[in-house]
Amino acid sequence: MGDIRKVLFEENKLEKKLCRLVGQAIGDFGMIEDGDKVMVCMSGGKDSYAMLDILMKLRERAPISFNLVAVNLDQNQPGFPRETLPNYLKNLGVPFHIEEQDTYGIVKRVIPEGKTTCGLCSRLRRGILYRVAGELGATKIALGHHRDDILETLLMNMFHGGKLKGMPPKLKSDDGKHIVIRPLAYVPESYLERYARQMDFPIIPCNLCGSQENLQRNAMKALLKEWEKKFPGRVESLFSSLQNVVPSHLMDDSQFDFKGLSQVEGLSDSEELSAWQPIQMIP
């Protein structure tokens, strides 16, 4: 009996953590507003299942009113279990829409065999989801990217793109018609892995397209895991740095007016330096 109570306590504790982190992200970035219709993009992976589940829980206790509609894009991948998501969503009682588009055929026709298809596939998906959001009258589009996804993107852009750029928790589409949100922005992937096992979500594998794995992203994921193992707290500190940016201590002159800097008026160089020295207490 004691073991069962312990398991139930841990499960409830994890759910509360997820609700707190998702609720905090929504509040910090104004992701969901009163009257919103949120289109929850469902891939069939652990992240989107958890996102929908937590958003449904938060909707019941939120001080504002908003609606949810789950959307899945059936890309005509060989072996895709077409009944898995519709059956799950029907049992859940949430409104949903399945969009069928043969993006798999397009990608296979355009991308040479052996090359990664992720880039083209994601662009096609994004365009279709934007269109569906307009047709459904959705005011927000929720994607299931979590904290680790954001950090991996940051490192990929730094190491391979030469940019200090991450993955924003909230953004406006290029055409200005859609607002994309990432409610799991504060959630570590390890929490989602545990929650998926706890909830026994009917996970659909993400390798149905036969594409090579994204080797660069996997390398970043391995690096973060190694850092967390060897240097506990480093990953959390790295994530915190995204919310504590000091443009004057970087080197982008479009973000800070370096050329416009001038000396402190009326002070010499030596006086200016002494003006910034810590105050010494007289004993």
Burial 218-256 (b: 16+ CB within 10 A, else e): eebbeebeebbeeeeeebeeebeebeeeeeeeeeeeeee
**Residue written as token pair 């009944």:** 83
Per-residue pLDDT tens digits for 170-225: 999 888 899 999 999 999 999 999 999 999 999 998 765 555 556 788 899 999 99
- Please determine, for residue 168, whether its predicted confidence score (pLDDT) is greater than 70: yes
Domain assignment present for residue 280? The answer is no
- Report residue 12's pLDDT band, with 50, 70 and 90 as the boundaries: confident
What domain range includes position 196?
21-214
- Please determine, for residue 18, whether its predicted confidence score (pLDDT) is greater than 60: yes
- Please determine, for residue 261, whether its predicted confidence score (pLDDT) is greater than 60: yes
pLDDT value of position 279? 44
- Please determine, for residue 274, whether its predicted confidence score (pLDDT) is greater than 70: no
Domain assignment present for residue 86? The answer is yes
Domain assignment present for residue 26? The answer is yes
Domain assignment present for residue 246? The answer is no
**Lowest mean per-residue pLDDT among 31-40, 116-125, 245-254:** 116-125
Domain assignment present for residue 197? The answer is yes
- Report residue 115's pLDDT band, with 50, 70 and 90 as the boundaries: low
**Closest CA relative to residue 109, chosen from 123, 121, 98, 126:** 121
Domain assignment present for residue 196? The answer is yes
Residue 120 vs residue 141, higher pLDDT: 141
pLDDT value of position 205? 81
Number of structural domains (the chain) is 1
- Please determine, for residue 247, whether its predicted confidence score (pLDDT) is greater than 70: yes
Domain assignment present for residue 249? The answer is no
Q: How many CB atoms lie within 10 A of CB 173?
A: 14
Mean pLDDT of 37-64: 96
Q: Do the Cβ atoms of 41 and 10 come closer than 8 Å?
A: no
Q: Do the Cβ atoms of 136 and 98 come closer than 8 Å?
A: no
Domain assignment present for residue 248? The answer is no
Specify the CATH number for the domain of residue 93: 3.40.50.620
